[in-house]
Structure 1
Amino acid sequence: MMDVCLFGVGLIGRVHAGNLARHPKVRLRYVVDPNREAAAKVAAATGAEIADTETVMNDPAVKMVFIASATRTHADLAMAAAAKGKAIFCEKPIDLDLKRTDECLAAVAKAGVPFQIGFNRRFDPSFRALKERLDGGEIGAVEQVIITSRDPEPETEEALAGGGGVFREMTIHDFDMARNMLGEEPVELFATGSSLVAPQYKKLGDYDTAMFILRTASGRQCHINNSVRAAYGYDQRIEVHGADGMLQAGNRLPTSVEMYGGKGISRDKPYYFFVERYAESYAAEIDHFITCVETGRKPAVTASDGRKAMILCEAALASARSGRFEPVQL
């Protein structure tokens, strides 16, 4: 059993803490978070010990670190862990600055340690099954990918101010899925954004409603639509159209029960938010990383994938400002 440490016990950190505590091949040895009260609750629930960064990095028994802390800390923690020879699982984005991201990736490469970025949607059972059938040639050559990603409600102004904006925090997942499904790298991107939902987005110079078009060198296309408001729940759908047919993965519902009556037919709304919707994928990505560290295999989602998604985020921001397609070099 390998000792691991979790940095950050916010919402996603608590999800990871539960999955790590339940995993049979690791022991959640430490949790690190500046919020001592929050750290204490997670420590009490998982049997972990509250520690500081120095203690963790200097403990040779800690073989893996899971970084789910504030975005501004990701690169520093990853580089410190790499220098100590520890395997790294890092939530996206690695950093909001590409130069800083490259510095981090260089340090990781020099250390030769495993690194997996937290693009959990690749591990969603439905999305993964779609990808496997796509790769199996079931619908022939890909022509179009359509990704719908809508949150049920907007972020608070405080949360927005501490992040990197909707494109870097929300759409980055969709850009990764676009790359994964297209089968070719995008070479140009168009983005348009509006502030239609909540005033805090406009106040911070951000968007709460956006659409994107990605195009590859061969002409394959991807359309992504984002919104921070969906009255019916967390809307997560993917459609891939090919030469011989179409594959779709729809929303996940709490139950499959449907009611048929004189006034119509009804069923459950989609899960309300990402913690419930992607519960299986979060557990699966953690298990994948632990297995890779144990067996020496390369993780399926690497630091390079995180970097490429960030390049698409930057191109999208530039396009939203310029009103033109922007070139992309991945």
Structure 2
Amino acid sequence: MAKQQRKEIGLAVIGCGTIGRIRAEFARAYPGVGWIGVCDIKSDLGHKLRDDVDADFFTNDYKELLNRPEVTATIIATDENFHFDPTMLAIEKGHDLFIEKPLATDARQSAKILEAIEANNIDAVVGYTQRFRRRFLAIKEKLTTGQIGDVHSVVTRAFMNRMVPIATVRRTQDRATLTPMVVSGTHSLDMSMWLMEGKVPKSVFAQSSDKVLSEWGTKDSTFGVFTMEDGTIWSMNISWALPEVWPGSVYGLEIGIVGTDGVIDIEDTHRDVVLASNHEQGGGYVPDGYNPPPRHVDFLTSYPPGDLHNGQLWGPMREETNSWFQRIYAGQETPHATAADGHRNLLMTMAMDVSAKRGVPVALPADPEELMRELTG
């Protein structure tokens, strides 16, 4: 991205839940943001966020907000199933875009979003927060500079507490595409593909199990093996059905990357800082009305957005959000995932689900129409 003249940001935040709130709070503290409008269908959430960040405008109608002349940039932070309509309107208005993953939960809608972004030359990024953690930036640099040669074998494993899927699926009955890979495995998939940048997936074979979370309309685990066009093999798996007492707030990740000249072995399970206490520990995505059993052990720093200190959130989501403001305010290069990355990630995660359903490998890139026909038919 070329350097450009600094321009004051007029920001629209669509969705005032946990993530929308976090990013709006960062926006209020960023000097390049001159105007903030917020929107949510729940007035209580919206009014509270408006008051807390001293927003200039609140509405229940995203169209009303996105049509405001002050708005130059939009954050899409609604529930996963409701990204399409506000995103398309923001593209029509020419706004810079930050879209929480995924672009959409319908592969056909995701394709339409990407097509519109590219046709209108919109600068759009997707929320893959882990790219902004120091350890992964350091690893990316070593790979980019060829320190382990040509990568030929990769293993990725993600473990998650089951409160995340329960919190996700209980918000909607439209659950056909709210699977471990599409909703959460996409983060570890994006990280692995970013670290393997330049590798093009050719096919995937996957299998799933659903002994625990079938009552919630989703799977427990999905394991798959990708083959790349250059012969690189990559084993990718996620289980988001760990017991509620599992100490990790959200994500535990391990990645092994083997190249012709070396290896990088990543242990990102957060078991290096463990808290055990007589006091009950919270954290993670605990849905309203859901009462998990108490847990007294916690892996500190395992909440992906970051950690609270003195009433403020510190960590990768702060870096990611402020870097986006700097990107559109001053034209700074950033490591954000692009809309093309986001669409690719969705198709790959859905292809894993289709392969698991069929019991045979799926060729890549997959067709959005075929994916949706298979997953929702």
Note whether the superposition's TM-score is higher than 0.5: yes
Report the Cα distance in structure 2 between the residues aligned to 1:256 and 1:298, rounded to whole angstroms: 33
| The 10-residue stretch of structure 1 (180-189 or 289-298) with the greater mean CA deviation from structure 2 | 289-298
- State the shift of 1:150 in Å: 1.5
The superposition leaves residues 2-46 of structure 1 with CA deviations (integer Å, 9 ceiling, x where unpaired) of 220111122222222222223232246111000111112212211
| The 10-residue stretch of structure 1 (222-231 or 111-120) with the greater mean CA deviation from structure 2 | 222-231
Q: Does 1:43 align with 2:50?
A: yes
Report % sequence identity: 23
Contact 1:179 1:186 in 2 (8 A): no
Report the Cα distance in structure 1 between the residues aligned to 2:361 and 2:314, rounded to whole angstroms: 36
Q: Does 1:24 align with 2:31?
A: yes
2:371 is matched with none
Q: Does 1:173 align with 2:187?
A: yes
Alignment CA distance shift 1:175-1:244 (3 Å): same
Q: Does 1:196 align with 2:211?
A: yes
- State the shift of 1:65 in Å: 0.4
Report the Cα distance in structure 2 between the residues aligned to 1:181 and 1:140, rounded to whole angstroms: 13
2:125 is matched with 116
Q: Does 1:306 align with 2:342?
A: yes
Alignment CA distance shift 1:88-1:325 (3 Å): same
Give the structure with the higher percent helix: 1
Report the Cα distance in structure 1 between the residues aligned to 2:160 and 2:271, rounded to whole angstroms: 17
- State the shift of 1:316 in Å: 0.8
Report the Cα distance in structure 1 between the residues aligned to 2:306 and 2:15, rounded to whole angstroms: 20
2:239 is matched with 227
The superposition leaves residues 76-116 of structure 1 with CA deviations (integer Å, 9 ceiling, x where unpaired) of 11111121121111111112222222222222223222111
2:317 is matched with 282
- Counterpart code for 1:287: N
- The gaps in structure 1 that reach 5 residues or longer are 260-266
- Counterpart code for 1:174: S
| The 10-residue stretch of structure 1 (129-138 or 275-284) with the greater mean CA deviation from structure 2 | 275-284
Helix, strand or coil for the counterpart of 1:62? coil
Contact 2:186 2:346 in 1 (8 A): yes
2:354 is matched with 318
Helix, strand or coil for the counterpart of 1:241? strand
Alignment CA distance shift 1:238-1:321 (3 Å): same
State the superposition RMSD in angstroms: 2.7
Contact 2:94 2:120 in 1 (8 A): yes
Contact 2:254 2:269 in 1 (8 A): no
Q: Does 1:81 align with 2:94?
A: no
The superposition leaves residues 210-264 of structure 1 with CA deviations (integer Å, 9 ceiling, x where unpaired) of 21211111221222221111623131232212222221333364985899xxxxx
- Counterpart code for 1:50: F
Helix, strand or coil for the counterpart of 1:77? helix
Contact 1:130 1:248 in 2 (8 A): no
- Counterpart code for 2:183: E
- Determine which of 242, 259, 264 is the counterpart of 1:242: 259
The superposition leaves residues 163-182 of structure 1 with CA deviations (integer Å, 9 ceiling, x where unpaired) of 53122111222222222122
Report the Cα distance in structure 2 between the residues aligned to 1:273 and 1:294, rounded to whole angstroms: 28
| The 10-residue stretch of structure 1 (275-284 or 221-230) with the greater mean CA deviation from structure 2 | 275-284
- Determine which of 222, 226, 246 is the counterpart of 1:214: 226
- State the shift of 1:66 in Å: 0.2
Q: Does 1:56 align with 2:86?
A: no
Report the Cα distance in structure 2 between the residues aligned to 1:50 and 1:147, rounded to whole angstroms: 42
Alignment CA distance shift 1:257-1:196 (3 Å): closer
Contact 2:224 2:237 in 1 (8 A): yes
Alignment CA distance shift 1:14-1:134 (3 Å): same
- State the shift of 1:198 in Å: 3.4
- Determine which of 2, 13, 16 is the counterpart of 2:20: 13
| The 10-residue stretch of structure 1 (55-64 or 154-163) with the greater mean CA deviation from structure 2 | 154-163
Contact 1:126 1:249 in 2 (8 A): no
Report the Cα distance in structure 1 between the residues aligned to 2:33 and 2:71, rounded to whole angstroms: 10
Report the Cα distance in structure 1 between the residues aligned to 2:222 and 2:160, rounded to whole angstroms: 12
Contact 2:306 2:317 in 1 (8 A): no
The superposition leaves residues 253-287 of structure 1 with CA deviations (integer Å, 9 ceiling, x where unpaired) of 4985899xxxxxxx973545333379622222222
- Counterpart code for 1:244: D
Helix, strand or coil for the counterpart of 1:314? helix
Contact 1:17 1:46 in 2 (8 A): yes
Alignment CA distance shift 1:254-1:26 (3 Å): farther
- Determine which of 196, 209, 215 is the counterpart of 1:182: 196
Report the Cα distance in structure 2 between the residues aligned to 1:214 and 1:91, rounded to whole angstroms: 25
- The gaps in structure 2 that reach 5 residues or longer are 1-7, 277-296, 308-312, 367-377
1:158 is matched with 170
- Counterpart code for 2:254: R
Report the Cα distance in structure 1 between the residues aligned to 2:275 and 2:346, rounded to whole angstroms: 41
Report the Cα distance in structure 2 between the residues aligned to 1:101 and 1:170, rounded to whole angstroms: 17
